Structure 1
Amino acid sequence: MSKAILTNVRCFAVGVDLTSQSNKIELSSEVEDKDATNYGSGGWKEVLGGLGSAELSGEGQWEAGDTTKVDDASWSQLGGVGPWSVSANNGAAVGDLAYFMGALRSDYTLFDAVGEIAPWSGTAKSASPLVRGQFAHPPGTARTATGTGTGLNLGAVIAGKRLHAALHVLSASGTTPSITARVESAPDNTFAAPTTRLTFAAATAPGGQLLRTAGTAITDTWWRIAWTISGTTPSFLFVSSLGIQ
């Protein structure tokens, strides 16, 4: 990607799309520097990398009234941990760059002076690694039947690394609708005999889940999201992100 003006940062917080209710999203990460200076350091400070952490802060226009609005979502999420996915100034299409993590919704601020557009601001602090990956399913494509997504060439997972997966169910309609999403891998893009690596819990309403593999090596290089849908006239909007960290 080349230099860009920020006009389309998509933000998915657990089970809500905050894109049209936010005008600033900021993501930061850091690793603690631990002082390891000793008498053999030659008069220079030595440091070692300690614990990593990340933080996502956002702000925008306050709205309330149903679960798709920032106020309803913020109150229900406050103090809880769930997945957050942010696009890198793109539309969150399959293959677009994504940053995601499990995060604690740690604070929420609202309102301002008379005459101002009602604002909100809030922070989510990492409860799992911040992952740089790709979107595996877009937000605007409704799914009404069992299916599979487009494959992504994310590469193999070496020992000690993990495949991380985030699922954001944004809407669910129909009679007793249910969706069970899973992550599949394969050695090539044909997915002739895919292997299921992760399976999310069945979802019947908006919400979010985050899973990761066990840390053992996986030689498959192609990955995709797949789903099983049941119910009477079911329809789901959902977003998924995949990445190796």
Structure 2
Amino acid sequence: MGKFVLLDARLFAPGADLSGASNKIELTSEIEDKDATNYRSGGYKELLGGLGSAEIAAEGQWEAGDPSLVDDQSWATLGGVGPYTVCPADSATGALAYITSGMRADYKVGDAVGEIAPWSGTVKSSWPLVRGQVGHPPGTARTATGTGTILNLGAIPAGKRLYAALHVLSATGTTPSITVRVESGDATLTTPTTRLTFAAASAAGGQILRGNGAAVTDAYYRVAWTVTGTTPSFMFAVSLGIR
């Protein structure tokens, strides 16, 4: 990806796509620097990396009256921990995505008379920030069991983990249910291995999972889902990454 102008950045909260209500999204990540300087440090400071942290700060136009809108979603998640995904350019399958489990730390609304009603808020990480890809796009309704596009994420070295965030954006039908999983294998995934399985979902909401730190030689991954119910339909997004 070369230089580009921010025109289609995406922000997914646990159970909502906040992109259409956002006009500024900032993502920061840092590692604490710990001073380990001593008499054998050669006359220079000696620093070690300490605790890591990440933060998502966003703002935009206020909307309310539906669980998918920013005011309803912000109040529902304030003080809670859940999955968040930020995409700098778009949310097509394979697009660059940043993933974390974070606490919705604050929420602000209001401005001067005559201004478009604004909102702003921050999310502070509870898990590492992971750089990955979109595994399933948000704009495709799923009404039956299926599998998604195969992605080359690479093998997972020992000590690193597979991370996956699920954002169920809408669910309709009679007793609808969807169970989403992440599979891995060779380039064709003819005989896939299930690596992560989210809990069954029947309404909008979010989940995030990570692997156990064991090495995985498979380099190819995809999202798969099982849908049940009467005339079910789900809109959801999944992001995947290794860290």
Query: What's the TM-score, normalizing by structure 2?
Result: 0.99
Query: Hey, what's the Cα distance between the residues in 1 that align with 2:39 and 2:141?
Result: 63
Query: Hey, what's the Cα distance between the residues in 2 that align with 1:139 and 1:222?
Result: 21
Query: Hey, what's the Cα distance between the residues in 1 that align with 2:190 and 2:120?
Result: 46
Name 2:177's counterpart in structure 1: 178
Counterpart residue type for residue 22 of structure 2: S
CA contact (8 A) 2:84 2:102 kept: yes
1:1-245 map, 5 Å: 1-90=1-90, 92-186=91-185, 188-245=186-243
Counterpart residue type for residue 135 of structure 1: V
Counterpart residue type for residue 182 of structure 1: R
Name stretches of at least 5 consecutive residues in structure 2 with no aligned partner. Answer: none
Deviation at 1:42, TM superposition (A): 2.2
CA RMSD of aligned residues (A): 0.6
Secondary structure at 2:75's aligned position in 1? Answer: helix
Secondary structure at 1:210's aligned position in 2? Answer: strand
Deviation at 1:43, TM superposition (A): 1.9
Counterpart residue type for residue 234 of structure 2: F
Task: Could you list the structure 1 runs, at least 4 aligned residues long, displaced by more than 2 angstroms after superposition.
Answer: none
Secondary structure at 1:145's aligned position in 2? Answer: coil
CA shift digits 1:24-54 (9 cap, x unpaired): 0000000000000001112211100011100
Counterpart residue type for residue 144 of structure 2: A
Counterpart residue type for residue 8 of structure 1: D
Name stretches of at least 5 consecutive residues in structure 1 with no aligned partner. Answer: none
Deviation at 1:207, TM superposition (A): 0.4
Percent of residue pairs bearing the same amino acid type: 68
Query: Hey, what's the Cα distance between the residues in 1 that align with 2:109 and 2:10?
Result: 21
Deviation at 1:160, TM superposition (A): 0.1
Query: Hey, what's the Cα distance between the residues in 1 that align with 2:110 and 2:54?
Result: 26
Query: Hey, what's the Cα distance between the residues in 1 that align with 2:147 and 2:187?
Result: 13
Query: Hey, what's the Cα distance between the residues in 1 that align with 2:221 and 2:129?
Result: 19
CA contact (8 A) 2:25 2:56 kept: yes
Query: Hey, what's the Cα distance between the residues in 2 that align with 1:147 and 1:38?
Result: 59
Query: Hey, what's the Cα distance between the residues in 1 that align with 2:225 and 2:163?
Result: 17
Counterpart residue type for residue 235 of structure 1: S
